[in-house]
Structure 1
């Protein structure tokens, strides 16, 4: 019997439109011989299923069901394509765990941990994983520009602590630019992380559970046409994403091993995409994404393609792993 699959997309963050694109690609490629896919739009005001005629059918949040033509549709599994809150920070994971509905991303704690850059780095610190020197600010704190520059140096990156797709991020060259960059980051989150600029080759490493085995996908090298891998570089074609990455065999082995170690030591499931910068041939961790982009132009699907995994197989495997 075919399984009913809810593909959740949208969300409450600036990544809403990107999530819609990811969800629609999953909807397009899911095997109709195995699954009945339903697009579910998640918005702050409402959750609903849109049919092909543009009608909206509300989701009953008490059991995550939808009433269609007098029939109550319940779901065997949820494919999570919500970037940012509430799909990447653990809120929806906890909701589905309470309802005992399998979902394709990692569990609640792991999602909350990886979405919080500060907490992630703190948990990984005992494992001697290299990362940039950082400085933390919360909304309402006094801004000590001299202390920031003394600790992280210039240039540096000012980032929202809990945001994705390079929203709320600035590269700062002068002390006088810090306040504007901090204000920009506060538009996305009330916590900020300021990091030392790392000069080196940036790579993205996809790690997934595929056919019940933790698998490291071919590595992608990021070459931005802009000053860094910002929103334009990620989504508006202002970068080269080269798979496989032009790195040495030793670099490839070290960063692949490290990305897999992080996946396993954190107890991740589903998809992850970790970002690193090589400095003097040593990989420094930038962040871990547990709901990465899934459009045909996104990094992880391209890595899967390079590994000989079709989008149909990639998405189907995520569902089977969730329901296993």
Structure 2
């Protein structure tokens, strides 16, 4: 095995992995490129690795076999796996790093798998007394028997960036919505529409057990917060969100509780609806979008932590002997 290096003098060698085999491939490429460019070049020697849609690895234009890719990872002091969605964020890359014996940023295998599974996340939240939207779990075998009675949101259990998510306001659209979700996952959630403000917070956990909650961010959009609204500039991100002290405290308590119960590490984004009855958990993202303009960096920027400093904190927290106190 190649010894992890602090090559080029005192610089720490860090691998940034992007791409992946999920429908979030392009979003991941953008996140990984932004992360790699923002890491301080005087502190880090960045190795950029890409996973193609077919699962093949590459370093720049050079194709790598999986064994070669693992060798490259093992030559690094830490890995930043900026791969969203299944076969990345769901614990797959964490497992590869664990087996390769390489330190990595973010949640481990179990937390990644649990948080990616929206149904499992609902069960964990329910056990904590945190509200979620009433819903049912369907498969291809059971979807045909589901009868529409009121407006619902249909979504794949394990996908992100609003791919395959539909707001169904009348029964004529139900079949197409179920088909779109089932095209991405063999399990589908059908949930009641929650009337509330969409407000997110991020939790940053340290190796010493400390937890930092970012200022809240409200997503304001004219209509449905779909893929286009997220990435084509159709959404207004307001941070800090205008919340009462009671709303903010309830939101932060729910975010911390679900972060810890899922076993998250590093940073995770907790998406909620703020209602008159308190926060309603929507989902948890253990590797959310991570360009400088993405929600999590914006939230920490509002707290005075720059994008580069946030990335530096995440990497330093996983380096042996260099944990942040």
Please say whether Structure 1 and Structure 2 have the same fold, judged by a TM-score greater than 0.5: yes
Shift of 1:296: 1.8
Q: Which position in structure 1 is the counterpart of 2:7?
A: none
Q: Which position in structure 1 is the counterpart of 2:154?
A: 158
Q: Which position in structure 1 is the counterpart of 2:219?
A: 222
Shift of 1:142: 4.9
The answer on whether the counterparts of 1:209 and 1:321 sit within 8 Å (CA) in structure 2 is no
Shift of 1:175: 1.8
Q: Which position in structure 1 is the counterpart of 2:57?
A: 47
The answer on whether the counterparts of 1:210 and 1:317 sit within 8 Å (CA) in structure 2 is no
The answer on whether the counterparts of 1:207 and 1:272 sit within 8 Å (CA) in structure 2 is yes
- 1:189-200 equivalences in 2 (<5 Å): 189-200=185-196
Shift of 1:104: 0.5
The answer on whether the counterparts of 1:207 and 1:214 sit within 8 Å (CA) in structure 2 is yes
The answer on whether the counterparts of 1:251 and 1:281 sit within 8 Å (CA) in structure 2 is no
Shift of 1:123: 2.2
Stretches of structure 1 that go unaligned for 5 or more consecutive residues are 67-71
Q: Which position in structure 2 is the counterpart of 1:122?
A: 123
- Look up the SS of the partner of 2:103 in the other structure: coil
Q: Which position in structure 1 is the counterpart of 2:44?
A: 35
Q: Which position in structure 2 is the counterpart of 1:18?
A: 27
- Look up the SS of the partner of 2:141 in the other structure: coil
Q: Give the length in aligned residue pairs.
A: 309
Residues 26, 219 of structure 1: alpha-carbon distance in 2 compared, 3 angstrom cutoff: same
Shift of 1:24: 0.8
Matches of 1:73 and 1:107, distance apart in 2: 18
Q: Which position in structure 1 is the counterpart of 2:177?
A: 181
- 1:1-324 equivalences in 2 (<5 Å): 1-43=10-52, 44-50=54-60, 55-58=61-64, 60-61=66-67, 64-66=70-72, 74-146=75-147, 148-149=148-149, 154-209=150-205, 212=208, 213-226=210-223, 228-324=224-320
Shift of 1:73: 7.7
- Look up the SS of the partner of 2:318 in the other structure: helix
Instruction: Provide the aligned C-alpha RMSD in A.
Output: 1.7
Residues 30, 180 of structure 1: alpha-carbon distance in 2 compared, 3 angstrom cutoff: same
Shift of 1:138: 1.0
Matches of 1:185 and 1:265, distance apart in 2: 27
The answer on whether the counterparts of 2:56 and 2:66 sit within 8 Å (CA) in structure 1 is no
Shift of 1:265: 2.3
- Of residues 97-106 and 259-268 in structure 1, the stretch that sits farther from structure 2 once superposed is 259-268
The answer on whether the counterparts of 2:56 and 2:63 sit within 8 Å (CA) in structure 1 is no
After superposition, what is the alpha-carbon deviation per residue over 1:271-323, rounded to whole angstroms, capped at 9, x for unaligned?
Answer: 10011112214100000000011112200011111111111111011111122
Shift of 1:120: 1.2
The answer on whether the counterparts of 1:6 and 1:77 sit within 8 Å (CA) in structure 2 is yes
Matches of 2:134 and 2:188, distance apart in 1: 14
- Of residues 106-115 and 90-99 in structure 1, the stretch that sits farther from structure 2 once superposed is 90-99
TM-score if structure 1 supplies the norm length? 0.91
The answer on whether the counterparts of 1:65 and 1:73 sit within 8 Å (CA) in structure 2 is yes
TM-score if structure 2 supplies the norm length? 0.91
Matches of 2:165 and 2:99, distance apart in 1: 34
